[in-house]
Amino acid sequence: MNLIIDVGNSFVKLAIFHKGVIKYKVTVELELVLKQLEVLSQAYGAIKGVIISSVGGLTKSDLEAINKRYKVLLLDYQTKLPFKNCYKTPKTLGVDRLALVSAATKQYPSCNVLIIDAGTCITYDFKSDDNSYLGGAISPGINMRYKSLHNLTANLPLLKASTPKYITGGSTEESIHSGVIHGVLSEIDGAIELYKLKYSDLTVILTGGDAKFLSKQLKSSIFANSNFLLEGLDYLLQINSNE
């Protein structure tokens, strides 16, 4: 059994994998990590390896407690990767993007793959068919766009994401929904088309917190996989545990 710990700003995703297959996952608040680990240890006593992504959100005492109990791999730019990293500034590359490209390398080893992670930010990561990571793009996510309109203007309200009924908004709220959601959809579809102009055999993966909301509204053909990052972390743990 492998334990995957993906640390965000406020929440932590934990998942149990066995032989590359996800068996359980849960999301908890940062301060509840150790309690949840105790629950998982009782339910899955045969945990052999642990990988932690984005350690910044965990306290020093939390990390020490986890390290005492398990053999832990802290993911960073120096971790052994299953692909050639051609990024010009590898030290600044988010570990979540390393995990996503690792998942693409395992599941689509001889394919040109564009991974789109629709979360707080929308990240685009491209892996070539010779398993080279070439980089990608970063843009504001859906909620960030709503918050920006509210925080950086005097009169626009803060709204929650909602699929617009019309392209032309008949009110301020309808106009905001149309601008944000159609803007994101057009951006993603446009990015996919740009890549397809160069790579006609492109495989596109959509993941992240907003993947389900966006997947049915996109014009482009994509594979939606909400567990893609967790699968990449499990793969990284596998290849680093076999040394």
Q: Of the candidates 228, 166, 222, 215, which has an alpha carbon nearest to the alpha carbon of residue 193?
A: 222
Is 92 annotated in a binding site? The answer is no
Cβ contacts of 37 within 8 Å, gap of 6 or more: 3, 14, 66, 69
**Structure-block tokens of residue 215:** 């997947």
- 21 labelled ligand-binding: no
Q: Would you say 11 is a known binding-site residue?
A: yes
- What distance lies between CA 122 and its chain's CA centroid? 9
Residue 7 known to bind ligand: yes
Is 85 annotated to bind a ligand? Reply is: no
What's the Rg (C-alpha) of the chain?
19
Q: Which of 188, 217, 216 is nearest to 204 (CA)?
A: 188
Residue 145 labeled ligand binder:
no
The residue annotated as part of the active site, out of 96, 125, 210, 234, is: 96
Q: Where are the beta strands (DSSP E) in 34-106?
A: 49-53, 72-74, 84-85
Annotation-wise, does 69 bind a ligand? no
Q: Is residue 131 a known part of a binding site?
A: no
Query: Is 76 assigned a catalytic role?
Result: no
Q: Is 9 annotated as a binding residue?
A: yes
Q: Is 8 annotated as a binding residue?
A: yes
Whose structure tokens read 């972390």?
233
Is 120 annotated as belonging to a binding site? yes
Q: Tokens 């492109």 belong to which residue?
A: 202
User: Can you point out the beta strands (E) in the chain?
Assistant: 2-7, 11-18, 21-29, 49-53, 72-74, 84-85, 113-118, 121-127, 132-140, 203-207, 223-224
Consult the annotation and say whether 190 binds a ligand: no
Q: Is 13 annotated as a binding residue?
A: yes
Distance (Å, whole) CA 112 – CA 202: 5
Numbered residues of the known binding site for K(+): 117
Numbered residues of the known binding site for substrate: 87, 94-97, 172
Numbered residues of the known binding site for ATP: 6-13, 120
Numbered residues of the known binding site: 6-13, 87, 94-97, 117, 120, 172
Query: Hey, which residues are catalytic here?
Result: 96
